[in-house]
Amino acid sequence: MTDSKRASWSGSVAFVLAAAASAIGLGNLWRFPYLAAKYGGGVFIAVYLVLSLTLGFTLLVTEIALGRYSRQSQLTAFRALGHPRWNFLGVMATIVPLFILPYYNVIGGWVVKYFTAYLKMIAGGGGIENPQGFFESFIAAPWEPFVCMAAFTAVTSAVIIMGVKNGIEKANLVMMPILLLMAIGIAVYVALLPGAGEGIRFYLVPDFSSCGSIGKVILGAMGQMFYSLSLAMGIMITYGSYMRRCDSVPKASVRIVAADTFVAVLSGFMIIPVVVMFAAKAGEGGRAAIDAGPGLMFVTLPKVFASLGQAGVLVGFLFFVLVLFAALTSAISMTEACVAAVCDFFRISRNASVGAVGVWTILLGAISAFGYGRWADFKPCGLPVLEFFDTSMNVLTPVVAALICLFVGWVLRPKRILAECRRDGSAVGFKIFYVVMVKFIAPLLVLAILASEICRIFGIGGWAI
């Protein structure tokens, strides 16, 4: 538990940038706009803000404090805290990034493909004339999805192998400001387009008639917030283990929530107005045009960019640069959680650990990369491999989060976390709030996310989100 050999961030700003970079990923860019459009625009945004500052803040403080107190990654943290019987929870928390990372990198490879496609268009090459056909032919190609995934994995591994300060910290110091500036720039450009006002009103004005029951709005916002903040993936425990003792855990958590929420809301300004404008021209409804998944980013938006003429090529290129950075920063954090776990458990060098995780990622990622092409007939539980892994992890992560709340609330006790929050010398004014949240409210809310995901999988009732 000593700090002498443990890597550390250079300061609070570096930690917040790294943790926010982890939180700001592909889910912000395609799932938040979809849910906002589905659940009443401003209604969803308001509920999301409240949940982020309550449930999100509580879970973030918990995981970061666990990491800093133990000075270990998620795999060995619970043993280091003096509770070896809870090692199983560390194993479960490590399984999550180990299985999410390979298929996430496959989607990262898709982003690489579109980035290079728009780069060629900028240089005067051929365009994406049929976005639907372009996407389907690419993911079904014999080798290209695998090659793109391997290239994406190589980049993330190169950053990780350089270490916490020289790799992760410096990469985020470059990518995060560029990502934010491009997001703001694209949002401003979209807002100035003729007819954008209708799409902005569609996004921001609360529409209680279209959002359905408030229960579904809360579940949708809660699920998005939970996955967006990289909770129950071991990432925040690992990143917290590199946090300096003199830095404030609560202040850092608030800043991470604020950064993640800002980009999520900003993504709606980038995407919803142009999709609504495009849908209106095609005689479609705005909500029907905003897809929940990769179809929004890889099919719908290229159609929208094409409708903008020559300017759309530049906007499309900048957008996919932004998406590439968002994908990389999240993949870097998941890779680090895996690498740190291997280092701490097997006590091997960082280079060896990066190599082992890289091989694992490429081998398991190959199954997902080929899942729409040469291995399309292999469908576990009737799903393409990528969707099977995604569904499985969406079930496991709330289980892990609920168990972490149970461990902290009733075994470790909240006072240990609160004491870690006071370590920098600052007062903690949310003691009662935190105790009630982590012992009672947070476990129930996380289990509600789990129940909703199970309903979605099996089509039970009307509670799928």
Q: Which domains does the chain have, with CATH numbers?
A: 12-458 (1.10.4160)
Cα atoms found within 13 Å of the Cα of residue 382, Cβ hemisphere only: 2
What CA–CA distances, in Å, run from 453 to 34, 49, 50, 315, 458?
17, 21, 21, 35, 9
Amino acid symbol at 341: A
How far apart are the two ends of the chain, measured CA to CA in Å? 41
- The 10s digit of each residue's pLDDT in 85-140 is 999 999 999 999 999 999 999 999 999 999 999 999 999 877 788 999 999 999 99
26 is written with which tokens? 């592909």
Other CB atoms within a 10 A radius of the CB of residue 117 amount to 19
Query: Is 255 strand, coil or helix?
Result: helix
Residues 168 and 174 sit within 8 Å (Cβ to Cβ): no
Distance, CA of 164 to CA of 18 (rounded, Å): 10
pTM listed for this prediction: 0.95
Q: What is the DSSP string of 10-46?
A: SSHHHHHHHHHHHHSSHHHHHHHHHHHHHTTTHHHHH
Helix axis angle, 196-204 to 170-191, nearest 10°: 120
Average pLDDT by consecutive 10-residue portion of the chain (465 residues)? 73 96 90 90 95 97 97 96 96 97 98 96 86 96 97 98 96 96 96 94 89 85 92 97 96 96 96 91 72 83 92 95 97 98 95 98 98 95 94 95 98 96 89 97 95 86 62
Backbone angles phi, psi at 248, to 5 degrees: -90, 120
Single out the residue of 69, 25, 24, 73 nearest to residue 336, CA to CA.
73
pLDDT for 2 equals 46
Distance, CA of 7 to CA of 340 (rounded, Å): 10
Distance, CA of 164 to CA of 154 (rounded, Å): 17
What CA–CA distances, in Å, run from 241 to 3, 67, 222, 226, 353?
9, 4, 26, 21, 17
Cα 394 to chain centroid distance, Å, stands at 12
11 is written with which tokens? 């300061």
Q: What is the DSSP letter of 381?
A: G
H helical segments located in 212-349: 214-228, 235-241, 249-281, 286-289, 294-295, 301-307, 310-346
Q: What is the DSSP string of 311-326?
A: HHHHHHHHHHHHHHHH
Cα 219 to chain centroid distance, Å, stands at 17
Residues 331 and 157 sit within 8 Å (Cβ to Cβ): no
Helix axis angle, 249-281 to 414-421, nearest 10°: 90
